[in-house]
Structure 1
Amino acid sequence: MTQQGVRWTADQVLALAPDAASRKAGSKLGAAGPWSEAGSSDEGTVWGLCKGSGSKPYQTVVDIADTAGPAYKCSCPSRKFPCKHALGLLLLWAGEDRAVPSGQAPDWAGEWLAGRRKRTEEKRAAGASPAAADPEAARRRAERRAERITAGAGELEQRLTDLLRTGLASAEQAGYGLWEETAARMVDAQAPGLAARARELGAIPSSGPGWPIRLLEESALLHLLDQAWLRREHLPDDLAATVRSRIGLPASPDGPPLRDHWLVLAQYDTTDPKLTTRRIWLHGTDSGRTSLLLSYGAGGRAPELALPMGLALDAEVSAFPGAGQLRAALGEQFTAPSPTTARPLGVTTAQAAVHYGEALRHDPWLDAVPVTLDRVVTTPDGDSWQLADADADLALPLPSTARSRPGLWRLVALSGGAPVKVFGELGHRGFTPLTAWPEGAGEPVSLC
């Protein structure tokens, strides 16, 4: 990626945008008009001056070669990372007309880059020799938290019992406030996983046809999680680790580092008023393993880790504990992410359904599993859409959330009635497509 002639695609650049508004504004700055003194180096730095509303142009520099993902610096007042100027500069750099020539970085760009890499090395050195923690104090804190969670789980069990005794119709009359209060109690009990599921229960009543069935199903899963926590000493180690994770207890990766050439299958963000969660799906081209990286950004800031779809990197990842858990931590990276023509192997729709069923045996609270479907065709099904196996009479429905996203129409256009390879998440509501590849050669298309 740091070599001239090896460039990102526009989709890979725009995948870095923190929101739709930044994506739109950055696209407008992806032409040469507002830029001057733009350049790039073989070491992976891109810089330029962008004309703004003031008398002085904005100084924009991007470190593409950073192994933790691109880093940005811009003199504009925007609090978004990357800002529209950084996105526009990368789009200009990625363009076919090679509007960003190779050259020597100006002093203002070189100083920032040198300072940033020095700070990165200092952090690595500090992390290599952490201060010794007090294991006895840590054990006592863990015991106190477990006691609070147990008390919260008992209170939640009583609330579920009251719901079933009074009937599901009472949930509609009680409204959202009852479950919001319950969620707050679970937060006090230091069980954020229970709190999140309690809030989800509150949103189900009056949510459309069949809501009593959905409420009963989610209540049963919450009851199962409660009971699993209360009886965790009797569970196998892997399942107990999964329960702790679903309750919301922090965990550290404990699996041995696995080095592979990791293909970035998809990257997308989900947001709430307090937190942005970024999910990055990786596929090991040698091991065949699929791993999930999670990164967070608070206060409206985008998460720091950014690995645009379609790139690949030589790196190590370490798995988190838990039965069937795919979450991993990104470890040492031996090369910067770079474009690749590699594709993951796909399965049939029938094999995908079997895979999801097997995954539920290890983790009953699993919402979805990552799956790459091979040779599927996007077809309408009444008012809905589905992915039909081109070689068998079996299809997977697309959930309503996927049908309302622009990515569906990109998928329909890419397919055009012909089979395509599609990566996405398969759950009880259907298959959510995230990335697609045309038959034969061709660049991947983001559907996020």
Structure 2
Amino acid sequence: MNQQGVRQVVGQGFGQGARWSADQVLALAPDAASRKAGSRLGGSSGSWSEAGWADGSGAVWGLCSGSGSTPYRTVVDTSGVAYKCSCPSRKFPCKHALGLLLLWAAADGAVKETAAPPEWAAQWLETRRAARPKGSSADGPAPVPGKPADPEAAGRRAARRAERVSAGATELEQRLDDLLRSGLAGAEQSGYALWEETAARMVDAQAPGLAARVRELGAIPSSGQGWPVRLLEECAMLHLLDRAWLGRELLPEALATTVRTRVGLPVSAEGPPVRDQWLVLSQQDSTDGKLTTRRIWLYGSRSGRTAQLLDFGAAGRAPGTALPVGLTLDADLVPYPGTGQLRAALGERFGPPKRAAGPPEGISTGAALRAYGVALRDDPWLGSWPATLSSVIPVPGADGVGGSRSGTADGWQLADAEGGSALPIAPGSSARTGLWKLTALSGGGPVTVFGECGHRGFTPLTAWAPGTAEAVPLT
């Protein structure tokens, strides 16, 4: 298959209006099982009746036959994005919503465009939108900084928590000292239980950020060649964070705020909103068994700013915020404080998502490394920095099958098409299917890739082929 044919297979066009692509729809799935089940329902119109969409309202709806006599009523607000289905599933979106969106994305006439949704779908849309406070986003009220009802009581609570965090940081320093005195080789013999106990102590100290870093330390021993060096490096970074917290009064305010965030203290979005046309660069979920974290990267076409949205969902439930990769939002973002912090909160939206003109202007692999280095000066604990690489060619691992037998990205690289430098793809950062999707999209030629550049390499998240505005999620 030639390069043009590969591109047509990997990412189809939008069709009419602001219709999404299949990749954008599947990127919203809460898990692999939902993705598979939704693909089956979206592969044929046989299960659907009365399926339609109204571009003006941003609604897509349909009736899906199930095991019962009454079909499931499914409606999606694409301006939100939000979902409603009469099925008993607790996943959002459910397989019926995914199947409906895939059927709509196919643009083959199975989902017919009409002037307005049926009464049952219109009623849900009206109820949902009427419940939004003025100045809110489609998924909830815009974050508005405000003072607590009782500032003195809030100050006392903050002081008590700071004391507990300081006690936890002091205890953690002692445990790191004990580890280094006894030698790193002992960490392999003691097992994970000691690290989990230490992490639990940090949770008791109300320092979840320290607890998360301790758990990461516990996974390093016996993790492969060179683990003692990695353990020493991470211990040093944790020691630096401990000392920064204990001496936070001596730090500049912006850096002290960053330290509070890294330790795990809550920080509110503040400052004037930034309105822009925000391109959705990527959306990825991670879970620790108790909580699902969704990270969404956005790029402002006018401001040139990159921002990250974070949302959380309990175990088994996807976070509420879902933004299709490759579309743009006319919206406000409210930034969080701190040096080197790109996190923001989604504020008011001023219209439904629209098709993007293409990827942001990219940089070379060397420039991406330099940008990450500059960001580390403001936040030494920064694991990675967002970057869009232009004209890079994916180079598979030396074994020709994507690295190790475990399917990690060992040995893969992204090389500048004009030569000069290359970035290794971070081991274990992408599924093997994502890397081969990137290779197929490239067809041996240069592509534009968005991802995160860190000390272990580059994590590719989204790619664009030359000459097309279609974004292809890789996660």
Between 1:189-198 and 1:6-15, the stretch displaced more is 6-15
1:94 to 2:105 alignment: yes
Give the direction of change, closer, same or farther, for the CA distance of 1:369–1:132 in structure 2 (3 Å limit).
closer
CA contact (8 A) 1:4 1:102 kept: no
1:57 to 2:84 alignment: no
SS of match in other structure, 1:208: coil
CA contact (8 A) 2:41 2:95 kept: yes
1:11 aligned to 19, 23, 26, which one? 23
Distance in 1, Cα, partners of 2:385 & 2:468: 27
Shift of 1:108: 2.0
What code does the residue aligned with 1:79 have?
R
SS of match in other structure, 1:377: strand
SS of match in other structure, 2:97: helix
Q: For 1:273-422, what aligned pairs fall within 5 Å after superposition?
A: 273-383=289-399, 384-402=411-429, 404-422=431-449
Distance in 2, Cα, partners of 1:87 & 1:209: 42
Distance in 1, Cα, partners of 2:286 & 2:268: 23
Shift of 1:55: 1.3
What code does the residue aligned with 2:153 have?
A
CA contact (8 A) 1:265 1:435 kept: yes
SS of match in other structure, 1:256: coil
CA contact (8 A) 2:135 2:348 kept: no
Aligned length: 443
Runs of 4+ with >4 A deviation:
122-132
What code does the residue aligned with 1:188 have?
D
- Counterpart in the other structure of 1:443: 470
- Counterpart in the other structure of 1:44: 58
Distance in 2, Cα, partners of 1:129 & 1:198: 32
* 1:218-273 deviations in Å (ceiling 9; x for gaps): 10000000000000000111111110000000001123211111111111111121
SS of match in other structure, 1:229: helix
- Counterpart in the other structure of 2:132: 120
SS of match in other structure, 1:110: helix
Q: CA RMSD in A?
A: 1.9
Q: Can you give the 5+ residue segments of structure 1 that lack an aligned partner in the other structure? A: none
CA contact (8 A) 1:319 1:329 kept: yes
Distance in 2, Cα, partners of 1:123 & 1:154: 44
CA contact (8 A) 1:323 1:363 kept: yes
- Counterpart in the other structure of 1:430: 457
Give the direction of change, closer, same or farther, for the CA distance of 1:44–1:310 in structure 2 (3 Å limit).
same
CA contact (8 A) 2:18 2:353 kept: no
Shift of 1:122: 8.3
Shift of 1:442: 4.5
SS of match in other structure, 1:400: coil
Distance in 1, Cα, partners of 2:126 & 2:470: 34
SS of match in other structure, 1:308: coil
**TM-score (normalizing by structure 2):** 0.90
Between 1:383-392 and 1:154-163, the stretch displaced more is 383-392
Shift of 1:130: 8.0
- Higher RCO structure, 1 or 2 (CA under 8 Å, sep 6+): 2
Distance in 1, Cα, partners of 2:371 & 2:309: 21
Distance in 1, Cα, partners of 2:376 & 2:432: 27
Shift of 1:197: 0.7
CA contact (8 A) 2:145 2:268 kept: no
1:76 to 2:87 alignment: yes
Shift of 1:341: 1.9
- Counterpart in the other structure of 2:224: 208
Give the direction of change, closer, same or farther, for the CA distance of 1:169–1:131 in structure 2 (3 Å limit).
closer
Distance in 2, Cα, partners of 1:132 & 1:262: 31
Shift of 1:382: 2.1
Distance in 2, Cα, partners of 1:77 & 1:319: 37
Shift of 1:54: 1.3
Q: Can you give the 5+ residue segments of structure 2 that lack an aligned partner in the other structure? A: 1-14, 400-410
Distance in 2, Cα, partners of 1:214 & 1:380: 25
Distance in 2, Cα, partners of 1:179 & 1:402: 24
SS of match in other structure, 1:260: strand
Distance in 1, Cα, partners of 2:64 & 2:266: 43
- Counterpart in the other structure of 2:38: 26
CA contact (8 A) 2:24 2:472 kept: no
